[in-house]
């Protein structure tokens, strides 16, 4: 109610001023302000609204990430079974394949120790069983298998000192 009275007073005052100034229409005499004492200023309202929006977005990201599956590593094929086939830490140099056979090359960090042992340990810790191992002339291949989610995964992990990226490149061949 008070707002309507104050606005009405402002309009009446502007109309009186226009009658005092001949040739000036009421629209040209002044501006009608719609603010009332106690009404929050627009910049405070805008800042509060922006803070609420930012808080909601941050909460959505925080809750959305807590229950999602881990993100696929960059460089891996989209359908690579990351949750069933653990890879060593490092940069994925290449990755390709289909829905039942994949080839991946991972560049292990130079200070990671023996990358083939780490790759085999990661797989055996995940339930894989070593089926065979061959080493010839600086090249090593280890064959492993495991049943996961109703499928049998066969993984061959290899390393060679002659690889283009050096002796820390670990080669994975995965099939189901």
What confidence score (pLDDT) does residue 8 get?
40
Residue 82 lies in a domain: no
**CATH number where 128 lies:** 3.30.160
Residues 99 and 167 in one domain: yes
DSSP, residue by residue, the chain: -HHHHHHHHHHHHHHHHHHHSTT--GGGS-------TTSPPHHHHHHHHHHHHHHHHHHHHHHHHHSSPPPPPTTS-TT--TTTS---SSEEEEEEE-SSEEEEEEE--TTSS-HHHHHHHHHHHTT-EEEEEEEETTEEEEEEEEEETTEEEEEEEEEETTSTT-TTEEEEEEE-
Residues 50 and 119 in one domain: no
Residue 102 lies in a domain: yes
- Tens of pLDDT, residue by residue over 42-88, are 566 666 665 665 656 555 555 554 444 455 678 898 899 999 999 99
Tell me how many domains the chain contains: 2
Residues 38 and 112 in one domain: no
User: Which residue range is the domain that position 61 belongs to?
Assistant: 2-66
Sheet strand arrangement including 129-136: 91-97, 101-107, 169-175, 151-160, 139-148, 129-136
Residue 53 lies in a domain: yes
Is residue 41 scored above 90 in pLDDT? Answer: no
Residues 98 and 55 in one domain: no
Q: What is the pTM of this model?
A: 0.58
Residue 76 lies in a domain: no
Picking from 31, 51, 66, the residue at the C-terminal end of a domain is 66
Residues 95 and 171 in one domain: yes
């Amino acid at each position: 109610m008070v707002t309507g009275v104050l606005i009405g007073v402002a309009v009446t005052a502007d109309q009186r001023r226009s009658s005092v100034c001949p040739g000036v229409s009421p629209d040209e005499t002044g501006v009608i302000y719609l603010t009332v004492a106690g009404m929050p200023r627009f910049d405070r309202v805008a800042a509060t609204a922006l803070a609420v929006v930012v808080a909601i977005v941050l909460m959505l990201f925080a809750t959305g990430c807590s229950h999602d599956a881990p993100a696929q590593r960059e460089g891996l094929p989209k359908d690579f079974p990351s949750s069933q086939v653990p890879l060593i830490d490092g940069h994925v140099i290449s990755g390709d394949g289909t829905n039942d056979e994949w080839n991946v090359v991972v560049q292990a960090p130079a200070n990671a120790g023996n990358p083939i042992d780490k790759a085999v340990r990661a797989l055996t810790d995940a339930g894989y069983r070593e089926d065979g191992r061959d080493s010839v002339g600086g090249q090593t291949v280890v064959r492993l298998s495991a049943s996961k989610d109703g499928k049998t995964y066969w993984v061959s992990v290899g390393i060679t000192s002659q690889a283009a990226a050096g002796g820390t490149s670990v080669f994975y061949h995965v099939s189901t």
